[in-house]
Amino acid sequence: MLELLLCSMLTILPDYLYRRYAQGRRIGYEITLYSVWYELRWGITLCLILTVLLITVIFYNHPSTTNATVMFRTVPLVPERIGRVVEVNVSGFSQDVKQGQPLFRLDSSEQEAAAETARRKIAEVEAALIAARAEVVGAEGQIQQAESAYKQALDELETKQELMSRNAATVAAREIERLQVRVEGQKGAVASARAAKDSAELRISTLLPAQKASAEAALAEAETDIAKSIIRAGVDGRVEQFLLRIGDVVNPMMRPAGILIPKGAGRWAVQAGFGQIEGQIMKPGMVAEITCISKPWTVIPMVVTSVQDFIAAGQFRGGEQLIEAQQVAKPGTLLVNMEPLYPGGLDGVIPGSSCIANAYSSNHDFIASGEAGFFYGIVLHGVDATAVVHALILRIQALVLPIRTLVLSGGH
């Protein structure tokens, strides 16, 4: 309507003034309701053409959308395993929580039993270490005893052999053989005692420490599982839809306990979906404006920070069937992320609110560079000036939005 009124001021009004004062035609005589088309046909035709061109220029260079939402991320409250709830630390349907605050606890009797078993195993290994050290001390005593017996048998054998070498009749050959067998036996006893000591030292240095490390790892795993049974808030925020009760079974795949909304979620940006035809116009750095239902009669200045390079409607997941293009029911939109131009711009806007967004293209830098030329620069100045029309339309929408929501749509 604004475009039509503006164009009529440049076409129909001059045409009427020419007919009225230059040609002397009068309203009610030559210009009547039946003859208005014939009398003002040139002005009406030019007005309609100019209106269509103006609307095209405005909506293409300064796009608008009603698909703007203050989106925010939620965190589902789910444990890492299935379990039965034995304690609930949050009371009520909704409550503010701090990071690390316990929310609820699952039954951990099985994990506690595993932890106790691991502790018993560690104590058993430590007792085995003490026993092995005692075995080392005992083995050392046995070695000394065996070496003494071996030395005594060896000395006796050497003495008998010396006597036999001097006088063969003094010592019997059978006695020499018996002493040789005894020496070999004592030598084997020494080797056995040393082997017992080496075995005990090997248990102390390798086997028992490995068993203790395994038991400590099992204890750490059990204690980790016990810690996982206590579900805590990962960030500061607010718990919503928390209806968990003692005895409920929580499943991480199918049954979350509630939702955690992080503090500040939905307070820093607005996501808007513009038409695909604006793909060549939408650029980061563009100035934009929004008005939201949750904060009526307010226009918030924004700036485009990012433009998604893909359109979500065209995505697919690989599977066993071929892609059919007709499955895309309607063309997708170009996702644009906008942030407030000034700090606190979204204060008072409830996260999840629906908004109307305008984006304004600017050719000032291109014109200032001198590459546009004189006449093309004038055209670009005119294109930038048409943003005033769209800005005015947005303010009219901001004024009418509460009335349309509460009265015309029966929103009350």
Q: What is the pLDDT of residue 307?
A: 93
CATH 3.40.50.12780 at 75-107+230-262, yes or no: no
pLDDT at residue 335 in the model: 93
The per-residue pLDDT for range 86-133, each reduced to its tens digit, is 988 887 778 889 999 999 999 988 889 999 999 999 999 889 888 888
Q: Where are the domains of the chain?
A: 1-61, 63-70+266-314+331-411, 75-107+230-262, 109-228
Residue 352 or residue 189, greater confidence: 352
Fold of 63-70+266-314+331-411: Elongation Factor Tu (Ef-tu); domain 3 (2.40.30)
Q: At what angle do helices 2-10 and 387-403 cross, to 10 degrees?
A: 140
**CA neighbor of 305 nearest in space, from 265, 382, 359:** 359
355 burial level (CB within 10 Å; 0-12, 13-18, 19+)? buried
Residue 316 pLDDT more than 90? no
Q: Are 56 and 273 in contact (CB under 8 A)?
A: no
- Closest residue by Cα to residue 106 from 228, 218, 235: 228
Q: What span, in angstroms and rounded, lies between the C-alpha atoms of 165 and 167?
A: 6
Of 34 and 290, which is predicted with more confidence?
A: 290
Dist CA 179 CA 185 (whole Å)? 10
The per-residue pLDDT for 410 is 58
pLDDT tens for residues 210-226?
A: 888 898 999 999 988 88
- Structure confidence at residue 2 as a pLDDT band (50, 70, 90): low
Tokens of 158: 């050497």
Q: Which pLDDT band, with edges at 50, 70 and 90, does 286 fall under?
A: very high
pLDDT, position 356: 93
Q: What predicted TM-score, i.e. pTM, was given to this entire model?
A: 0.68
Grade residue 67 by pLDDT with cuts at 50, 70 and 90.
Answer: very high
pLDDT single digits (tens) 215-257: 899 999 998 888 888 888 988 998 888 888 888 888 887 777 8
Q: What is the arithmetic mean of pLDDT over 2-27?
A: 79
Beta strands in 120-169 (DSSP E): none
Q: For residue 343, how many other CB atoms are within 10 A of its CB?
A: 7
pLDDT of residue 166: 67
Q: What is the DSSP letter of 78?
A: -
Alpha helix ranges (H) inside 269-372: 364-368
Q: Is the pLDDT at 41 greater than 60, yes or no?
A: yes
Residue 272 has pLDDT above 80, yes or no: yes
Looking at the predicted structure, is the pLDDT value of residue 62 above 70? yes
- What is the band of 69 on the pLDDT scale with cuts at 50, 70, 90? very high
